Structure 1
Amino acid sequence: MNLFFHVGRYFTLLSRAFSRPEKHRIYFRKLFVEIEQLGLDSVGIVAIISIFMGGIITLQVAYNMSNPLFPSYLIGLGNRDTLILEFSSTIMALIMAGKIGSNITSEIGSMRVTEQIDSLEIMGINSASYLILPKTLAVVFIFPFLFVLSVFFGLIGGLIVGPAVGAVTAPDYINGIQYLFTPYYVTFSMIKTLFFGFLVASVPAYFGYFVDGGAFEVGAASTRAVVNTNILILVFDLILTQLLF
């Protein structure tokens, strides 16, 4: 019963958030601010994590393909497909849920407990649309960009680590990342990132918008938001994989 209550309230909040804005210019300006704060500020951590994970995946694939019957270029292929199909879309979304999601919950939750949201409502402003719509659109817009960056830096990480430790030569690795490339894999992962971006923004916004109490409750809401967002990402990853493949 509690689950149905939260689901109903979540979709009710979304219907308010995606209603027609009062002043498009203000929302347009706020959208670019959110893109910078939520998306562009995440480029650094995405690059660092992807470089290391690309190197780690390359080493793991190399050590598990030590059989001389397997051509070494398959190491680059394995790293490429792992990054495109799962890491740079799903795992990166889980990481961003902790960074971006907690940020959204704490910001909106702090406005709720300090009665700033109530003040917006008194002034006749649709607080749900003003606070949630720009954040959601910003995250949905920036997630495909972060996905592409993650794949790129992951491949660079494999190119650095693989030859450095003698697991694979640079020409074989480059040949592997080009071998049997399937463009649909990118399309599939792009679709996933759009869904995940929407979840990473809207679910934490819901928990922040309806937080009740003080600073402690805001922190607890941030934790619940990240946990629930991660669970939904994994559920939708399973559903989308079944549907799109």
Structure 2
Amino acid sequence: MALTDDQLERYARHIILREIGGAGQQKLLGAKVLVVGAGGLGAPLLLYLAAAGVGTLGAIDNDHVELSNLQRQIIHGTAEIGAFKTDSAARSVDRINPDVTVIRYNERLTSENALDLLADYDVIADGTDNFETRFLLNDACYFAKKPLISGAMLQFDGQVSCFKAYEPDKPCYRCLYPAPPSAELARTCGEAGVLGALPGVIGSLQAAEVVKELLGIGEGLAGHLLLYDSLNAEFRKIRIPKNPACALCGDHPTITGLSGA
């Protein structure tokens, strides 16, 4: 289907990019991305993917907007306190771009619903803040053969990667972190704090990687980890090798189905 006059104007800065063009923009409009978590990382992810014209966005989160969220979760406003985050996010997306449909899941991602939720989407973006869900999402994406754009942050540091271990020689999240840390070490932003602007940096990087993945352009982060230290204004990109002993994607896997972290 040809782009309308309004769409030609809305996406003009994409269309003049040789790597995207009109055909690429049409592909974005037909794409489906699931964003897991509508908080700190999910906020810039959803906003920038909506602005880019990704036609269908799934948002899964069972939390409600709280006053303490507003220091960093820019998709929500003061008037939305008490609302489901997915409902608040959908209203913000609608204000930005009526081309975009938001499918809301006011629930948690679990081993029972994960594969069904992932099935209809092209790319999955991890905006969660706990290790249990990160490991579950990694495993589900591996079994569903879906690219996972992963982001994480705490205090002043953040990281971004792409996991596609179903492809040859590509690692999964468990190749990097074989098992969740102990409860004493697994601090959340609510417990350890986070610089308010940091989720904007990390979530925006994730959104760029999602668009690249959808269009097959540039060099992605599969097999690499991008680290950002905001206190020292430093980026580092390191290689992540596939771990032959990985319990999920290694030579002799012991994880054969979804059962949590």
Bigger Rg, which one: 1
Which has the bigger relative contact order, CA under 8 A and spacing at least 6? 1
Task: Judging by fraction of residues, say which structure has more strand.
Answer: 2
- Shorter chain as normaliser: what TM range? under 0.3
Task: Judging by fraction of residues, say which structure has more helix.
Answer: 1
